[in-house]
Amino acid sequence: MSVKRTFATLCLVLGLGCSGAQAAPDKVGWGYIAATAFYWDVFAAMSKGFMAEQNIAVEDTRIDAAGQSVQMVLTSAIDILSSNTELALNAIDKDADLVIVGDETAKVPWTLMARPEIKTIKDLKGKVVGVTQLTDASTTMLKLLLKRDGVLDSEYEVIQLGGTPNRYAALTRGAVQATLLAQPQDIQAGQDGMRSLGSVSETFDGPAIVFAVRRSWAKQHADLLVRFLRAAVRGMEWVNDRNNKQQAVALLVKKIGGSEALAAQTYDLYTKQGVISRTGELPLQHVKNYLALSRPNVDSIDLKRYVDFSYLEQARQAAR
């Protein structure tokens, strides 16, 4: 056995970081909420080896209840959360050790789907509409969409149902007459005979999902966070490149289920509307748009309390 090979074997046995030997990948706990297409970029970054190129092993956790997601990152059950934007903002308002470090799903593509007998938004007067929670941003966006067409809050009933799979089931079984659905469940609902009444993006401009981490964790693991974001941005670029459509469709089916036809329609919608962020950048105006849904005088708010894009900027500079 050669001296070089003997030295490499000794390094391996003793767990030494010897020059020339590949270091063990750094583990990152990443959490995402429910099985939707919102996380296509990270799915791609994991599947296509972009995370591995950054020497990262992602331990992914699907969180079925959105309300539990922020608590999981705050208690260190996960390191990085693909978070509902409003949940992150509300936690920060309560002085949680949390900060938004980048954009993931740049638009809110929720579709207002209704029972077949509901022809227009005005037909929802006197009806029951399902929401995730009684008081959250998606509910406010829904109300904005209905108000645009002259349906006031007092003219329909709202019930809390939880995540997209629950709302889809309630709609298709007739428990509610309308609800917001993410992709690909809205497309499936349409194939089930439900009717699309519009999208919340018609009345609101902002992200559906952002990357949120503990501030303290980010400071202690700055290099690791930068590498994660670098890989995620590569995933965004890959998903948005239509040359990768066939592979992206197959990947989504593998990760969240459903048919290739549904995934293909979702892909066409996302690339046409720019739903998956291309760069991870989050316009500060979009943060203000969210804050304005429930807070007065947003122009006087210090947005640095909510966001820190320095890690993303480092990731993008290194990728240039």
In a domain, 257, yes or no: no
Please list, in sequence order, all residues whose beta carbon lies within 8 angstroms of the beta carbon of residue 65, skipping any fewer than 6 positions away.
162, 163
Q: Looking at the structure, do residues 143 and 35 belong to the same domain, yes or no?
A: no
Domain boundary among 183, 202, 221: 202
User: Along the chain (320 residues), what's the average pLDDT of each consecutive run of 10 residues?
Assistant: 40 44 88 92 98 98 89 97 94 97 94 97 97 85 94 96 90 97 92 95 92 98 98 98 98 94 95 95 95 87 96 84
Do both 187 and 290 map to the same domain?
no
Are 175 and 32 in a shared domain? no
> Which pLDDT score, from 0 to 100, does residue 164 have?
83
C-alpha–C-alpha distance, residues 216 and 234, integer Å = 26
Q: Do residue 61 and residue 183 come from a single domain?
A: no
The answer to whether position 250 is within a domain reads no
Q: Domain limits at 140?
A: 111-202
**One domain for residues 188 and 286:** no
Q: CATH number of the domain at 159, please.
A: 3.40.190.10
* Predicted confidence (pLDDT) per residue in 218-259, tens digit: 999 999 999 999 999 999 999 999 999 999 999 999 999 989
Residue 29 lies inside a defined structural domain of this protein: yes
pLDDT at residue 319, as a whole number: 59
Mark whether 131 and 189 lie in a shared domain: yes
Tell me, what's the pLDDT at 48?
98
Rounded Cα gap, residues 10 and 259, in angstroms: 49
Q: Please count the structural domains in the chain.
A: 2
* Residues 212 and 196 placed together within one structural domain of the fold: no
Q: Do residues 37 and 89 share a domain?
A: yes
